[in-house]
């Protein structure tokens, strides 16, 4: 499987406030990659670095095996983008955006754009400034898909959408990658979405990648062992990834749930959600 994005030794510094990196990352073709982490972890910085919106301090980023700095125009043609904050002027309407995009993208598909507007219930003549947050997000998604990109790079694309529309959007994303020739990099706080659609999960915290795993590996093999305060010392240190002490018990992150269940038959061992994993990795003690 070929890689669509390859990142080596990426570093982006914000004075003394925050540093992203050093990041090494490969995103293969034909998959949905979920990027998770708390606010300020570095998700948006990573996405903006990949898109060359932010100039990195060190390292190298290649998309389609091309250097963004040298071949930005040809690369941008094949990337669909949704950022957390809309980049269209608020006085524009979807009709205006259609006119603008026809001049920017060679493969802009006016009919496809209008179909998405119709599917999302968006008025082609409605100014952005009169739209709700959810409507603006739907407009961004429609725009990102309407020039037939090869990869979607999305920062909080379902933020502000109600559950019904969110499911519709997730179905669109799944359809997008069905031919295994398209890829999605998706940053979101709604980790339950990723449990349904992601093939690969990247967990970033304080500018560092803590986990880079297949979703099935995480959800099938990782778990939480729960024991009372007095029993904690009976758990082998080699079985503990991180742990969190509560008022009456310990929660311990483990990474081989079938082995752990056999080894500690008197303790509860539950499967884990991505949200629980994130909380334990951030708040837990090694």
Residue-wise pLDDT for 247-260, tens only, equals: 888 999 999 999 99
Tokens of residue 46, six digits: 């990573």
**pTM of the shown model:** 0.90
Phi first, then psi, for residue 53 (nearest 5°) are -75, -35
Are 77 and 147 within 8 A, CB to CB? yes
Q: Cα–Cα distance between 18 and 32 in angstroms, integer? A: 28
141: left (phi over 0), alpha (psi -120 to 50) or beta: alpha
- Secondary structure of residue 29 in the 3-state scheme: coil
The half-sphere exposure of 23 on its side-chain side, counting CA atoms within 13 A, is 36
Rounded to an integer, the average pLDDT of 45-55 is 91
Q: Where are the domains of the chain?
A: 3-215, 222-283
Average pLDDT over the chain, rounded to an integer: 90
Burial code of 178-202, b = ≥16 C-beta within 10 A, e = fewer?
Answer: eeeebbbbbbbebbebbbebbbbbb
- How, if at all, do strands 183-187 and 223-228 pair? unpaired
- Secondary structure of residue 31 in the 3-state scheme: coil
Block residue for tokens 């933020």: 159
Task: For residue 180, name the pLDDT band (cuts at 50, 70, 90).
Answer: confident
DSSP 202-244: EEEETTEEEEEEEHHHHHHH-EEEEEEGGGGGGS-GGG-SEEE
For 220-266, how does the pLDDT look when each residue is reduced to its tens digit (9 = 90+)? 999 999 989 989 999 999 999 999 998 888 999 999 999 999 998 88
**What are the start-end ranges of the E strands in the chain?**
3-14, 18-28, 32-36, 58-63, 66-67, 79-82, 151-155, 183-187, 200-205, 208-214, 223-228, 242-245, 249-254, 268-271
The pLDDT value given to residue 16: 76
Q: Does domain 3-215 match CATH 3.90.1150.10?
A: no
Q: Cα–Cα distance between 129 and 92 in angstroms, integer? A: 8
Task: For residue 1, name the pLDDT band (cuts at 50, 70, 90).
Answer: low
Q: Cα–Cα distance between 201 and 258 in angstroms, integer? A: 21
How deeply is 163 buried, as exposed, middle or buried, from its count of CB atoms within 10 A (0-12, 13-18, 19+)? exposed
């Amino acid at each position: 499987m070929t890689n669509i994005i390859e990142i080596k030794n990426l570093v982006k510094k914000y004075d003394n406030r925050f540093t992203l990196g050093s990041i090494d990352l490969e995103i293969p073709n034909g998959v949905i990659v979920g990027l998770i982490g708390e606010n300020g972890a570095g998700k948006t910085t990573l996405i903006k670095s990949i898109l060359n919106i932010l100039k990195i301090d060190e390292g190298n980023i290649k998309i389609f095996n091309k250097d963004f700095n040298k071949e930005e125009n040809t690369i941008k043609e094949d990337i669909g983008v949704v950022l957390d904050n809309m980049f269209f002027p608020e006085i524009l309407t979807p009709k205006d955006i259609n006119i603008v995009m026809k001049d920017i993208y060679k493969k802009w598909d006016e009919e496809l754009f209008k179909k998405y507007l119709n599917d999302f219930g968006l008025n082609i003549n409605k100014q952005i400034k009169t739209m709700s947050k959810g409507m603006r997000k739907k407009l961004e998604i429609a725009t990102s898909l309407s020039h037939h990109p090869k990869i979607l790079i999305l920062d909080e694309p379902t933020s502000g959408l109600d559950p019904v529309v969110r499911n519709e959007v997730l179905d669109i994303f799944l359809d997008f990658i069905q031919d295994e020739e398209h890829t999605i990099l998706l940053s979101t706080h709604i980790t339950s979405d990723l449990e349904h659609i992601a093939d690969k999960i990247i967990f970033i915290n304080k500018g560092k990648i803590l986990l880079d795993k297949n979703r099935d590996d995480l959800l099938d093999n990782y778990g939480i062992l729960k024991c009372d305060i007095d029993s904690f010392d009976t758990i082998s240190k080699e079985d503990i990834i991180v742990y969190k002490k509560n008022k009456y018990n310990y929660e311990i992150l483990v990474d081989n749930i079938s082995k752990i269940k056999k080894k500690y038959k008197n303790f509860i061992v539950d499967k884990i959600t991505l949200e629980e994993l994130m909380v334990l990795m951030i708040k837990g003690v090694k």
